[in-house]
Structure 1
Amino acid sequence: MSKRLRSSEVCADCSGPDPSWASVNRGTFICDECCSVHRSLGRHISQVRHLKHTPWPPTLLQMVETLYNNGANSIWEHSLLDPASLISGRRKANPQDKVHPNKAEFIRAKYQMLAFVHRLPCRDDDSVTAKDLSKQLHSSVRTGNLETCLRLLSLGAQANFFHPEKGNTPLHVASKAGQILQAELLAVYGADPGTQDASGKTPVDYARQGGHHELAERLVEIQYELTDRLAFYLCGRKPDHKNGQHFIIPQMADSSLDLSELAKAAKKKLQSLSNHLFEELAMDVYDEVDRRETDAVWLATQNHSTLVTETTVVPFLPVNPEYSSTRNQGRQKLARFNAHEFATLVIDILSDAKRRQQGSPLSSSKDNVELILKTISNQHSGESQDNDQPDYDSVASDEDTDLDATASKAHRQKSLDSDLSDGPVTVQEFMEVKNALVASEAKIQQLMKVNNNLSDELRIMQKKLQTLQSENSNLRKQATTNIYQVQTDSEYTDTSNHSSLKRRPSARGSRPMSMYETGSGQKPYLPMGEVNHPEESRTRLQPFPAHASRLEKQNSTPESDYDNTPNDRDLDDLGYMCRKNALGLGSSTRDRAAWSGGTLHHLHPLLCFQTHNVLRY
């Protein structure tokens, strides 16, 4: 298709510009966002291929382009083109709509539910309707009108319908008429090129008889499409059917790993399958190959931001409601095979397909019996480990891949690892990938241990910090209490010792003291050189009796510690006594009573004058 025509193309589902994907069986071109929804529906709904990064048979691409240019999209949107659809509120998705749920719901209704397809009048017997549609298809394939045949197929016509009167199928008719595009469309919808008509001829025979050699060669390729696709997936080559080579069996670089008893037993089980079961298994593996290849192309063509924000990766084959639950479970488990395991399975299928095609006999029955017995013994030994596991896995619904973004993101790396076998797989490559994976897992475990150790150390440091904070708080409280606490049990220090004066804990040590201090007991005067008496020996003064002297009563008057100024009478008495001692006069009985206890023996005259002067002046 020319670039001018390609630039005018729009997405068939949202009308977005420059679609890069094609839905082969729907005959439409779609954009990246709509393609992600198509892939989640499954190949039984839409078979998607990239227009540039996927190898195309020329006639197959020409068929899709012809359908798109002839308005095949109107078949799937028939009711939307009716003006009455505007009244009902139905509308087509826009490029600005979100993928989920807007575009996803529209695409499901369009292709899965066929909600907008033109419906024929209802009849009592649907089989009669399908038979009539198949007969119309049988007559239409002789012409080049592709959209008519696609419309009949969308309504339920059978591509492999065997006409009871004419004794052939629509593909026989198209091959005889040389309609290669019709043959491509019929093959997409399941027509078998190997089907024989009433006379025993195949469509290939009719194409060769009619001189349509290109059509005949293409029909041979379609007949071996499954095995060709599997071989191309492993080694990147296809058989040369023109020279009679129809199978390529890739070999592992080191086949010693495939000689185990389990591998032999699995191969024998594969060979013992009936043709019908083997065909189903081969079809499921073909769908898994298509999923892996399409997933690889998808990841290579999308930017990283889109992959993170949208659910675009299909981690396993979607559920096909036409298949049984057991088969759907087996199809989904194919995604769990790594590159080496899946390559081994593909090689076994190719080998057995070649054997069945050529009619080669199986190996001796003795080997089969031995392998079966070994398999049974291995199963019995492993029953104890498998009893806790369920017999079947739960089958995921079609909406799981759209709703569970976390699961899709977790399987994205697994899909990348599984898609590394586009070329020939060697044991060395497999071991390199395995060693790298083991090293990565070991590194992750090491980092997790380091993280746990750091977390433990952090918790220990936090506990220590809390302990230190509490101890600091307690010490601050104790220091504050000690500052304001009055110490009653402290000792007097030596007046001649300056260091002991500095350590005196009394609060009065911070201010000057007079000889005589009111509100307390009399302080003992010690001459220089004498040792001070401890404070414990000092007894508190008791209340004076009624005959106590006036001076004693004045000394016992309770006053504030902050008021140490004596009254005038105290100063006069004190001065009088000092003068008498200075003149050498004896003290009277009244004076001796004032200094009771004998604490002022040999009062120094100079000290009396100095003290008297300080107190008076």
Structure 2
Amino acid sequence: MSKRVRSREVCADCSAPEPRWASVNRGVLICDECCSIHRGLGRHSSQVRHLTHSPWPSSQLQMVQTLYGNGANSIWEHSLLDPSSSVSGKRKANPQDRVHPNKTEFIKAKYQMLAYVHRMPCREDDSVTAKDLSKQLHSSVRTGNLETCLRLLSLGAQANFFHPEKGNTPLHIAAKAGQMLQAELLAVYGADPGALDSSGKTPIDYARQAGHQELAERLVEIQYELTDRLTFYLCGRRPDHRNGQHFIIPQMADSSLDLSEFAKAAKKKLQSLSNHQFEELAMDVYDEVDRRETDAVWLATQNHSTLVTDTTVVPFLPVNPEYSSTRNQGRQKLARFSAHEFATLVIDILTDAKRRQWGNSCESPKENVELILQGIDSRHNSESQDNDQPDYDSVASDEDPVTKVNSSESSDLSDGPITVQEFMEVKSALTASEAKIQQLLKVNCHLSEELRSMQSKLNSLQTENTTLRWQTPSGQQHLQAPFGRHPPRGGRALSMYETGSSPRQYPHRAETTRHEDGVILQPFPTNVSTEAPLFPLDFSDAVEPGEEGEEDATLPCTEDVICKTEQITKNIQELLRAAQETKHESFLPCSEKICVAVKEMAALFPKRPSSETVRGSLCLLTSSASRLHGECQKAAEHNPCPSDIQLVTQQVIQCAYDIAKAAKQLVTVTTKENNN
């Protein structure tokens, strides 16, 4: 198979024609449906931008297009290109596949689990392998072969690797060689343009000394990428780095709130953070800006009459597995900030970033720039101002599409004549609001379909469990394969809820409890795919697969397991009825009943089962119950907005799905083992 695309551009994940989005750090182009899944993975997995509606540095866009054209997708689908993969049942998604679960499972496996990436031979010391890969990267960036460097980065090469013999980093080498696209790729993977070599020189110095002025200017922009992005979000303008202007500090038109004692205390607390803590907060705010801007582009580019509603809303930042659960919760709370609150936070971060870099007494006239975020009238009147005082838009936000105006201006807007510009802005805001309303209606219809489907599946599960009960006289008679089907190869019973040609496989990592979506679920392992619970319950006395002790092959009798499964099923049905009737206040009591039933069922099994299938099913059962309780707690919050309650309901359904699946698996494996 040729690396180069022989026909028109197609989606890297499902081969749909004319992809309109790009994943910057993966070097691929993707369609709208696949992009909706990528957005839910988080920027640590995929950094998405629209090819035409998102602001792009030209060299970065060229880097992505070059990677895509040179077959970067084969890096992420390496094992799928192996003819034997078709025998094992592995296949990539196609345009006709449903977003859930087909495309979602494939994309998560491809980019989160890196299930199809070529694996290096195992060594005793992984650090040696990473060092060797980083040295290869250090040598490769002097050439124009982008896909080779991306392959090395995908295998674990470090973009900021300091070569002990050469005394510099890969970005120093790329800058000296004038490799603009290599520098863009390294920067996407975290390379620091301000890193010092053994002589105290930065990659920017290397580029200037070699005569690559354009590359040097781009590296300066990359160095200030975070603050530039925050400034552009607020006022649509970037600093003029060529002329030594590195910061623009906007100001709110109505700054009266900044005079309150609460605002002063908040600013003092921000200033008291250590540099490391401040950097983490700034990066989290940067990610939230990216989420809000991408949501705005997403809504503006969708055909709302045929909108795919499976995964259209990303209401808060997805969980990053590299961060603590506390930090992940704090990141998600950023979505609750109103436009004014979030703009105030961004301005405070810009101000403190400048203070930390230049010091309190090191301000230059070029840095001391204050921009007033004007309302509609002031923007209209500012057209007559000279070029030194350009007009700027109010804070952009997906939460408040209507431009905010000052209280002193609102009377002029309501009592005086309305200009054409004002009318068009209000009309545009109303159109955006109508689009969101239509989107929520479609999400509601899809949610109703999922509820009906889950109710049908649970009824089927209850019937099958009753059948099994009648088929078990005293545990002596040999039963047929449970639920009328035989276990697939590999010794693991296939759940009736699973679709596709083969069960999902997840790499086993010993002695780790980090969940695939990021939250640590002590004491459960990571070989089960679930969403991360932010409010985990204590099931430690029910099952502790990580504790010390000998493995126990004893399993409870099938009759007891079926009895507990029926109890869980009954409680899930009650929860789904509450969801169908939109009785969200009933979610929490129902979830507590389910958690009690799950704990009782888990208590039937030994604390350290010898069967890997049992361990996996118990982990899925208990972690899903924990996650369910957390989601139901969200539904119990006071006056949640419609989009939030829709999302919570979807998550509750997914949790119920996983609990039912795990219970089914435990019944199946217990029946099988007891009759062997």
TM-score range, shorter-chain basis? Answer: 0.5 to 0.7
Please list the CA deviations of residues 459-516 of structure 1 after superposition, one character each: whole Å capped at 9, or x if unmatched.
Answer: xxxxxxxxxxxxxxxxxxxxxxxxxxxxxxxxxxxxxxxxxxxxxxxxxxxxxxxxxx
Question: For the pair shown, which has the larger CA radius of gyration, 1 or 2?
Answer: 1
For 2:333, the aligned partner's letter is K
For 2:146, the aligned partner's letter is L
Look up the match of 1:606: none
Look up the match of 2:203: 203
Question: Any idea what SS the aligned residue of 1:54 has?
Answer: coil
Look up the match of 1:137: 137
Q: CA deviation at 1:312?
A: 1.1
Residue pair 1:295, 1:415 contacting (<8 A) in 2 also: no
For 2:68, the aligned partner's letter is Y
CA distance in structure 1 between the aligned counterparts of 2:397 and 2:123, rounded to whole angstroms: 46
For 1:155, the aligned partner's letter is L
For 2:22, the aligned partner's letter is A
Look up the match of 1:36: 36
Tell me whether 1:321 sits opposite 2:321 in the alignment: yes
Look up the match of 2:625: none
Please list the CA deviations of residues 388-411 of structure 1 after superposition, one character each: whole Å capped at 9, or x if unmatched.
Answer: xxxxxxxxxxxxxxxxxxxxxxxx
Change in CA separation of 1:426 and 1:178 when aligned onto 2, cut-off 3 Å:
farther
Residue pair 1:296, 1:419 contacting (<8 A) in 2 also: no
Look up the match of 2:183: 183
Please list the CA deviations of residues 239-291 of structure 1 after superposition, one character each: whole Å capped at 9, or x if unmatched.
Answer: 00011110000111121221100000000100111110000000000000000
Please list the CA deviations of residues 77-132 of structure 1 after superposition, one character each: whole Å capped at 9, or x if unmatched.
Answer: 11111101111011111100000100000001111111111111111111111111
Q: CA deviation at 1:311?
A: 2.4
For 1:317, the aligned partner's letter is L
Please show how residues 303-382 of structure 1 align to structure 2 within 5 Å.
303-307=303-307, 309-360=309-360
Look up the match of 1:247: 247
Look up the match of 1:45: 45
Quick check: 298-307 or 283-292, which moved more? Answer: 298-307
For 1:8, the aligned partner's letter is R
CA distance in structure 2 between the aligned counterparts of 1:335 and 1:320, rounded to whole angstroms: 16
**Relative CO higher for 1 or 2, CA cutoff 8 Å, sep ≥ 6?**
2
Please list the CA deviations of residues 324-379 of structure 1 after superposition, one character each: whole Å capped at 9, or x if unmatched.
Answer: 111101100000000000000000000001111102269xxxxxxxxxxxxxxxxx
- When the two structures are superposed, what TM-score results if normalisation uses the length of structure 2? 0.54
Look up the match of 2:116: 116
CA distance in structure 1 between the aligned counterparts of 2:342 and 2:312, rounded to whole angstroms: 23
Look up the match of 1:174: 174
Look up the match of 1:15: 15
Change in CA separation of 1:274 and 1:221 when aligned onto 2, cut-off 3 Å:
same
CA distance in structure 2 between the aligned counterparts of 1:275 and 1:358, rounded to whole angstroms: 13
Residue pair 1:292, 1:418 contacting (<8 A) in 2 also: no
CA distance in structure 2 between the aligned counterparts of 1:316 and 1:93, rounded to whole angstroms: 27
Unpaired stretches in structure 2, ≥5 consecutive residues = 363-395, 415-425, 434-676
Quick check: 7-16 or 268-277, which moved more? Answer: 7-16
Look up the match of 1:231: 231
For 1:352, the aligned partner's letter is D
Look up the match of 1:514: none
Please list the CA deviations of residues 15-66 of structure 1 after superposition, one character each: whole Å capped at 9, or x if unmatched.
Answer: 0000000000000000000000000000000000000101111100000000
Q: CA deviation at 1:304?
A: 2.0
Residue pair 1:252, 1:426 contacting (<8 A) in 2 also: no
CA distance in structure 1 between the aligned counterparts of 2:210 and 2:401, rounded to whole angstroms: 42
Look up the match of 1:219: 219
Change in CA separation of 1:296 and 1:89 when aligned onto 2, cut-off 3 Å:
same
Question: Any idea what SS the aligned residue of 1:251 has?
Answer: strand
Change in CA separation of 1:99 and 1:429 when aligned onto 2, cut-off 3 Å:
farther
Question: Any idea what SS the aligned residue of 1:309 has?
Answer: coil
Please show how residues 346-425 of structure 1 align to structure 2 within 5 Å.
346-360=346-360, 416-418=398-400
For 1:72, the aligned partner's letter is A
Residue pair 1:293, 1:419 contacting (<8 A) in 2 also: no
Question: Any idea what SS the aligned residue of 2:49 has?
Answer: strand
CA distance in structure 2 between the aligned counterparts of 1:143 and 1:30, rounded to whole angstroms: 27
Question: Any idea what SS the aligned residue of 1:80 has?
Answer: helix
Q: CA deviation at 1:202?
A: 0.4
For 1:240, the aligned partner's letter is D
CA distance in structure 2 between the aligned counterparts of 1:52 and 1:164, rounded to whole angstroms: 42
For 1:417, the aligned partner's letter is E
CA distance in structure 1 between the aligned counterparts of 2:101 and 2:340, rounded to whole angstroms: 38
Tell me whether 1:80 sits opposite 2:80 in the alignment: yes
Q: CA deviation at 1:6?
A: 11
Look up the match of 2:258: 258
Tell me whether 1:151 sits opposite 2:133 in the alignment: no
Look up the match of 1:63: 63
Change in CA separation of 1:18 and 1:165 when aligned onto 2, cut-off 3 Å:
same
For 1:231, the aligned partner's letter is T
Report the RMSD for the aligned CA atoms in angstroms.
Answer: 2.4
Change in CA separation of 1:51 and 1:239 when aligned onto 2, cut-off 3 Å:
same
Change in CA separation of 1:44 and 1:419 when aligned onto 2, cut-off 3 Å:
farther
Change in CA separation of 1:330 and 1:420 when aligned onto 2, cut-off 3 Å:
farther
For 1:24, the aligned partner's letter is V
Residue pair 1:194, 1:223 contacting (<8 A) in 2 also: yes
CA distance in structure 1 between the aligned counterparts of 2:405 and 2:151, rounded to whole angstroms: 47
CA distance in structure 1 between the aligned counterparts of 2:75 and 2:402, rounded to whole angstroms: 39
Please show how residues 550-565 of structure 1 align to structure 2 within 5 Å.
none
CA distance in structure 1 between the aligned counterparts of 2:82 and 2:408, rounded to whole angstroms: 58
Residue pair 1:292, 1:419 contacting (<8 A) in 2 also: no
Q: CA deviation at 1:305?
A: 3.9
Residue pair 2:33, 2:308 contacting (<8 A) in 1 also: no
Look up the match of 1:566: none
Q: CA deviation at 1:417?
A: 1.7
Look up the match of 2:274: 274
For 2:198, the aligned partner's letter is A
Unpaired stretches in structure 1, ≥5 consecutive residues = 363-413, 441-617
How many residues align structurally? 378
For 1:36, the aligned partner's letter is S
CA distance in structure 1 between the aligned counterparts of 2:398 and 2:166, rounded to whole angstroms: 50
Question: Any idea what SS the aligned residue of 1:186 has?
Answer: helix
CA distance in structure 1 between the aligned counterparts of 2:104 and 2:408, rounded to whole angstroms: 39
Residue pair 1:339, 1:420 contacting (<8 A) in 2 also: no
Change in CA separation of 1:429 and 1:289 when aligned onto 2, cut-off 3 Å:
farther
Change in CA separation of 1:209 and 1:302 when aligned onto 2, cut-off 3 Å:
same
CA distance in structure 2 between the aligned counterparts of 1:63 and 1:334, rounded to whole angstroms: 31
CA distance in structure 2 between the aligned counterparts of 1:144 and 1:336, rounded to whole angstroms: 44
Q: CA deviation at 1:211?
A: 0.3
CA distance in structure 1 between the aligned counterparts of 2:308 and 2:165, rounded to whole angstroms: 57
Look up the match of 1:572: none
CA distance in structure 2 between the aligned counterparts of 1:431 and 1:160, rounded to whole angstroms: 52
Q: CA deviation at 1:426?
A: 5.1
